[in-house]
Structures are given as structure tokens and as C-alpha cells.
Chain A
């Protein structure tokens, strides 16, 4: 089993749609979780951290379910500019290293 698993997609959605991605992780001792965004042929950039209580940043909502070891990202009112690959990222036990999932590709169409 991969340490961090994501559906690679692509998810093709129309503008204005709500879309959700899930990610599962294998290390139950992981303490920190993030979503990064990577545009085509660009570097990854932090989208948001994921807190135990869940957190929201504008149209983006992240949730963590420790019991089931999965993380979700919800995007509301999708924009064309949201088209990118979304990387689920999990820390190791020691909290000094990040493990990246393979990413979920989102394509928002007009």
C-alpha cells in the first residue's frame, strides 16, 4: 500500500460546480497534513494546512478523519483557474519529512 494514495483523476467539472477529493494515508502516527497545488509544469505551492477540526479558506474546505486515515478537500464554485493537480501531503512520525501523494488532476471547463 502506498503511503499516501489519491485518485489521479482527471476530474472534469463545469465552472461553478462543487468538487471533492479524498486522500488516504497509511501512517497512523502522522501528525501534520497539507494540500499543495501544482499547476502544469510548475512547482508545488501550499494551498492549505489540514487541521483536526477541519478548516476553511474561502471556497476551499479541508477535513481530516484520523480514525479512517483520510483527508478531503472540497472546492466550491469552481473557477477555471482552479484547474491544477492537487497534492495530498502527510508528515512522517518524526515530523521532519513530508510524503506527497501522486496528485489528483482537476480540469474546470467553461
Chain B
């Protein structure tokens, strides 16, 4: 019944590793997002996809590569993890790309890079 789900919930890994986070929404929404919330609690947009098409890429390092196999899924792959990548990553979805539509967030993935 979960509207927006993410896996894994916790991810602990070493510097230099490559990892992926998966996101799925069962709301039938067209638009999905990845946000990063750092230790100071600022939530920042990373990417946005609308119907599998990338529409926002907010100057995120190339080590981060989103992939949307279909409009219900938006995965995030991170190469060569760095200490500064430690954060909580939230996936979200909305009915359409217009920000008037409410964004529904997943439970977050807490990434710790050691």
C-alpha cells in the first residue's frame, strides 16, 4: 500500500564503492524526483523526471546517474562514493511536472559513507 517506496532504507558503504538506490511509486504519477537532505537538514533537488524524461539536473556530480526504466520507477546509481555523499536521499513523485501538484515523498534512504 506504500505510495512511494525506496530500497534500501539504510546503506553503509566504504569510499570508492558504487551503490544504487531504487524508488517505486504506485500512484500513477508522471513526475518523479530525487532529493538530498544533508546533515544540516537542507533538502535539495537533484533530479526530476517526467514520463521517463530528465527535466531537471541540478548541477549534481557526474558520479550520480539517475535511471527511469518506466514512469513508476526512478533509480539512483552513485559511482565512486565519497564521504560528502553521506546524507538522506528522498525520492518523491507528483501527478505532473507543475509544482502546484503535491509531492509525495518516500521514506528516505540513509546513506553513510565511511
State which of B40, B45, B97, B106 has its C-beta within 8 Å of the C-beta of A102. B40
Separation of A102 and B45 alpha carbons in the complex (Å): 13
State which of A43, A95, A97 has its C-beta within 8 Å of the C-beta of B105. A43
* A-side interface size class: 10 to 19
A-facing residues in B2-41 (Cβ within 8 Å): 40-41
Separation of A42 and B55 alpha carbons in the complex (Å): 26
Separation of A91 and B56 alpha carbons in the complex (Å): 14
Instruction: Establish whether residues A46 and B100, one from each chain, have CB atoms under 8 Å apart when the complex forms.
Output: no
Q: Which of B42, B99, B102 has its CB near the most chain A CB atoms (within 10 A)?
A: B99
Chain A residues, Cβ within 8 Å of B90: 43-44
Instruction: Establish whether residues A46 and B107, one from each chain, have CB atoms under 8 Å apart when the complex forms.
Output: no
Chain B residues, Cβ within 8 Å of A43: 90, 105-108
Which residue on B lies nearest to A4, using beta carbons?
B42
Give B contacts to A, CB under 8 Å. 40-45, 48, 55-56, 58, 90, 97-100, 102-103, 105-108
Chain A residues, Cβ within 8 Å of B105: 43-45
Chain A residues, Cβ within 8 Å of B48: 96-97
Separation of A94 and B41 alpha carbons in the complex (Å): 25
Whether, in the assembled complex, A75 has its beta carbon less than 8 Å from a beta carbon of chain B, the answer is: no
Which residue on A lies nearest to B6, using beta carbons?
A43
* 10 more CB-based (< 8 A) A-B contacts, given A43-B108, A45-B105, A97-B48: A43-B105, A43-B106, A43-B107, A46-B102, A96-B48, A96-B55, A96-B56, A96-B97, A97-B58, A103-B41
State which of A32, A87, A102, A103 has its C-beta within 8 Å of the C-beta of B99. A32
B-facing residues in A64-110 (Cβ within 8 Å): 85, 87, 91, 95-100, 102-103
Chain A residues, Cβ within 8 Å of B97: 96
Chain B residues, Cβ within 8 Å of A96: 48, 55-56, 97-99
